[in-house]
Chains A and B, each alone.
Chain A
Amino acid sequence: MIKLKINGELFEVDVEGSTPLLWVLREQLGLTGTKYSCGIGICGSCTVHIDGKAVRSCLISVSSLDTSQDIVTIEGLSADNNHPLQQAWKELDVPQCGYCQPGMIMSAAALLNANPDPSDADIDNNITNICRCGTFNRVRKGIHLAADIAGDKKPNNKRGGA
Chain B
Amino acid sequence: MKNQRINVSRRDFLIQGTAIGAGFSLGLFLPLSSRTAFAADNAPSYSSTASSPAGPEVNAWVEILEDDTVVIRIARSEMGQGTLTGLAQMVAEELECDWSKVTTEYPTPGENLARDKVWRSFSTGGSQGIRGSHDYVRKGGAVARHMLIQAAAEQWGVPMAECTAENSVITHQPSGRTTTYGKVAALAAELFPPEHIELKDPKDWKLIGKPVKRLDTVDKLNGKQVFAADLQLPGMLNAAIKACPVFGGTLKSFDDSKVRKMPGVHKILKVGDYAVAVVADTWWHAKSALDELPIDWNKGPNADLSSAAIDKMLDEGLSSSDNVFVGNRNGDVDKALKAAVKTVEATYSYPYQNHATMEPMTATALWTRDKCEVWCPTQNGEVALEATAEASGLDIRQCDVYKIHLGGGFGRRGAVHDFVTQAVAIAKQIPGTPVKLLWSREEDMAHGFYHPVTKCKLVGGLDDKGNLNGLHVRISGQSILASIRPQWLAENGADMITFQGFHAEGDHAISYSVADLLVEHAMRNPAVPAGFWRGVNINQNAIYTECFIDELAHAASRDPLEFRRQLMKDHPQSLAVLNAVAEKAGWGTAAAKGVHRGLAVTKTFGSYVAACAEVSVKQDGKLKIHRIVAATDPGYAVNPQQIEAQVEGSFVYGLSALLYGECTVKDGAVEQSNFHDYPSMLIDEMPEVEVIVMPSGGFWGGIGEPTIAVAAPAVLNGIFAATGKRIREFPLKNIDLRA
Interface, chain A (partner B; CB < 8 A)? 6-9, 11, 13, 16, 19-20, 23, 26-40, 42-43, 45, 73-78, 81, 86, 89-90, 93-102, 105, 123-125, 127-140, 160-162
Q: Is the CB of A76 within 8 A of B229?
A: no
Contact flag A11-B24 (CB < 8 Å), given A101-B220, A130-B675, A131-B652: yes
Q: Is the CB of B358 within 8 A of A20?
A: no
Q: Is the CB of B26 within 8 A of A30?
A: yes
Q: Is the CB of A160 within 8 A of B20?
A: no
Q: Is the CB of A160 within 8 A of B80?
A: no
Q: Is the CB of B683 within 8 A of A123?
A: yes
Q: Is the CB of B21 within 8 A of A38?
A: no
- Closest-by-CB residue of A relative to B684 is A124
Contact flag A98-B441 (CB < 8 Å), given A75-B20, A130-B675: no
Q: Is the CB of B80 within 8 A of A96?
A: yes
When each residue 209-236 of chain B gets 1 if its CB lies under 8 Å from chain A and 0 otherwise, what string results? 0000110111111111111011010000
Expressed in whole angstroms, the Cα–Cα distance for A38 and B676 within the complex equals: 9
Selecting from B165-173, B305-313, B401-409, the interface stretch reads: B401-409
Which chain B positions have C-beta within 8 A of A89? 217, 221
Interface positions of B from 592 to 635, Cβ below 8 Å from A: none
Which one, A13, A96, A105, A128, contacts B645 given CB within 8 A? A96
Which chain A positions have C-beta within 8 A of B466? none
Contact flag A98-B675 (CB < 8 Å), given A132-B357, A133-B408, A134-B652: no
Question: Smallest distance from the beta carbon of A31 to chain B beta carbons, Å?
Answer: 7
Expressed in whole angstroms, the Cα–Cα distance for A162 and B23 within the complex equals: 42
The 9 closest A-B pairs by CB, nearest first: A33-B223, A134-B652, A96-B80, A97-B80, A134-B649, A99-B407, A98-B220, A124-B684, A9-B21
Expressed in whole angstroms, the Cα–Cα distance for A80 and B73 within the complex equals: 28
| Number of B residues with CB within 8 Å of any CB on chain A | 69
Q: Is the CB of A95 within 8 A of B441?
A: no
B497 adjacent to chain A (CB < 8 Å): no
Selecting from B316-324, B685-693, B724-732, the interface stretch reads: B685-693
When each residue 80-118 of chain B gets 1 if its CB lies under 8 Å from chain A and 0 otherwise, what string results? 111000000000000000000000000000000000000
Which chain A positions have C-beta within 8 A of B650? 134
Expressed in whole angstroms, the Cα–Cα distance for A90 and B406 within the complex equals: 19
Q: Is the CB of B224 within 8 A of A45?
A: no
Expressed in whole angstroms, the Cα–Cα distance for A100 and B229 within the complex equals: 13
Which chain A positions have C-beta within 8 A of B441? 37-40
Q: Is the CB of A27 within 8 A of B222?
A: no
Question: Smallest distance from the beta carbon of B492 to chain A beta carbons, Å?
Answer: 37
B418 adjacent to chain A (CB < 8 Å): no
Which chain B positions have C-beta within 8 A of A75? 20, 222-223
Which chain A positions have C-beta within 8 A of B20? 7, 31, 75-76
B440 adjacent to chain A (CB < 8 Å): yes
Question: Smallest distance from the beta carbon of A15 to chain B beta carbons, Å?
Answer: 8
Expressed in whole angstroms, the Cα–Cα distance for A97 and B219 within the complex equals: 11
Q: Is the CB of A97 within 8 A of B358?
A: yes
| A-B contact list, 14 entries, CB within 8 Å | A13-B24, A27-B238, A32-B230, A75-B20, A95-B80, A95-B216, A98-B405, A98-B407, A124-B684, A128-B682, A130-B358, A134-B652, A135-B645, A162-B688
Question: Smallest distance from the beta carbon of B102 to chain A beta carbons, Å?
Answer: 16
Query: Of residues A7, A42, A76, A95, which shows the largest number of chain B Cβ atoms within 10 Å of its Cβ?
Result: A95
Which chain A positions have C-beta within 8 A of B674? 38-40, 42
Query: Of residues A37, A131, A133, which shows the largest number of chain B Cβ atoms within 10 Å of its Cβ?
Result: A133
Expressed in whole angstroms, the Cα–Cα distance for A48 and B675 within the complex equals: 20
Which chain B positions have C-beta within 8 A of A125? 684
Which one, B25, B440, B649, B680, contacts A30 given CB within 8 A? B25
Q: Is the CB of A23 within 8 A of B686?
A: no
Which chain B positions have C-beta within 8 A of A134? 648-653
Which one, B238, B652, B686, contacts A132 given CB within 8 A? B652
| Chain A residues touching B, majority SS | loop
- Closest-by-CB residue of B relative to A23 is B284
Query: Of residues B226, B440, B656, B683, which shows the largest number of chain A Cβ atoms within 10 Å of its Cβ?
Result: B683
Question: Smallest distance from the beta carbon of A52 to chain B beta carbons, Å?
Answer: 18
- Closest-by-CB residue of A relative to B211 is A93
Q: Is the CB of B230 within 8 A of A127?
A: no
Which chain A positions have C-beta within 8 A of B220? 95, 98, 101
Expressed in whole angstroms, the Cα–Cα distance for A29 and B357 within the complex equals: 25
Question: Smallest distance from the beta carbon of A82 to chain B beta carbons, Å?
Answer: 10
Question: Smallest distance from the beta carbon of A81 to chain B beta carbons, Å?
Answer: 5
Question: Smallest distance from the beta carbon of B640 to chain A beta carbons, Å?
Answer: 12
Q: Is the CB of A93 within 8 A of B218?
A: no
When each residue 51-89 of chain B gets 1 if its CB lies under 8 Å from chain A and 0 otherwise, what string results? 000000000000000000000000000011110000000
Q: Is the CB of A99 within 8 A of B408?
A: yes
Q: Is the CB of A43 within 8 A of B645?
A: no
Which one, B357, B409, B440, B653, contacts A39 given CB within 8 A? B440
- Closest-by-CB residue of A relative to B653 is A134
Expressed in whole angstroms, the Cα–Cα distance for A41 and B653 within the complex equals: 21
Expressed in whole angstroms, the Cα–Cα distance for A81 and B82 within the complex equals: 21
Which one, B221, B284, B686, contacts A162 given CB within 8 A? B686
Which chain B positions have C-beta within 8 A of A11? 23-24
When each residue 357-386 of chain B gets 1 if its CB lies under 8 Å from chain A and 0 otherwise, what string results? 111100000000000000000000000000
Which one, B222, B356, B653, contacts A74 given CB within 8 A? B222
Q: Is the CB of A90 within 8 A of B221?
A: yes
Expressed in whole angstroms, the Cα–Cα distance for A75 and B410 within the complex equals: 28
Q: Is the CB of B684 within 8 A of A90?
A: no
Q: Is the CB of B652 within 8 A of A33?
A: no
Contact flag A132-B24 (CB < 8 Å), given A37-B359, A96-B81, A97-B79: no
Which chain A positions have C-beta within 8 A of B653? 132-134
Q: Is the CB of B688 within 8 A of A98?
A: no
Which chain B positions have C-beta within 8 A of A29? 24
Q: Is the CB of A74 within 8 A of B223?
A: yes
Question: Smallest distance from the beta carbon of B116 to chain A beta carbons, Å?
Answer: 32
- Closest-by-CB residue of B relative to A31 is B223
Expressed in whole angstroms, the Cα–Cα distance for A31 and B27 within the complex equals: 8
Expressed in whole angstroms, the Cα–Cα distance for A140 and B25 within the complex equals: 36
- Closest-by-CB residue of A relative to B232 is A30
